[in-house]
Amino acid sequence: RQNLFGEFSVLELAPERFALRRRIYARRVHWEADLQAWVFEDGWRHEFERDRPAAFESFTVATFPQVTERPEYFKKEVVESDQMNFRQLGRYIADLRQGGFEVGRLRVQWHKKFAFPLMVVVMVLLAYPFGLTVGKRGAVGGVAFGMTLGIGYWVVSALFEALGNIQLLPALLAGWGPDLVFALAGVYALLHIQT
């Protein structure tokens, strides 16, 4: 937002030799709108010829006409995952990954886009065995069970998502884990219905 970089390096390559031609380093770089240029502070410039050091110069403040990219070039639009469908989110993840950004949190959200709608089926699987025994507990018991089930899913989903976001769980498991846990509980309850 402030058009500011810290510990900034520019590497200029000689494409015909795949070799380093120049490296510019600055502790701080900011965009100066009046100059329409980046201002480098507290750094140095190192020139190379045929893979050997040719010149070295340190500076307090400098601009370099070789760095022509404007601030917009470096800015990536931040879009929330819930504002995108799964295709858009997949492309966004691929773009960020190609740029070298960490995408673990977004991959969890991508998997959740598929897993969350299937939770309806899992809830039915859980509710069916309970529905057969509702006569013993009454309507209040059904409402209490439904609320407990919803809150339980919300808590388990938040836990799996948090573990996926800090990469303690793979994104696939973080996204699909709550469905898997509740589906196993539903199958267990279904297999233990007293008939």
Task: Give the model's pLDDT for residue 31.
Answer: 92
Residue 99 vs residue 181, higher pLDDT: 181
Handedness of CA 102, 107, 109, 110 (dihedral sign): positive
| pLDDT category of residue 41 using cuts at 50, 70 and 90 | very high
Per the CB < 8 A criterion, the answer to whether 129 and 142 are in contact is no
pLDDT at 99 exceeding the cut of 80? no
Whether 93 shows a pLDDT value over 80: the answer reads: yes
Closest CA to 102 of 166, 183, 59: 166
Report residue 78's pLDDT band, with 50, 70 and 90 as the boundaries.
Answer: low
170 or 14, higher pLDDT: 170
Strands 37-49 and 19-32: antiparallel
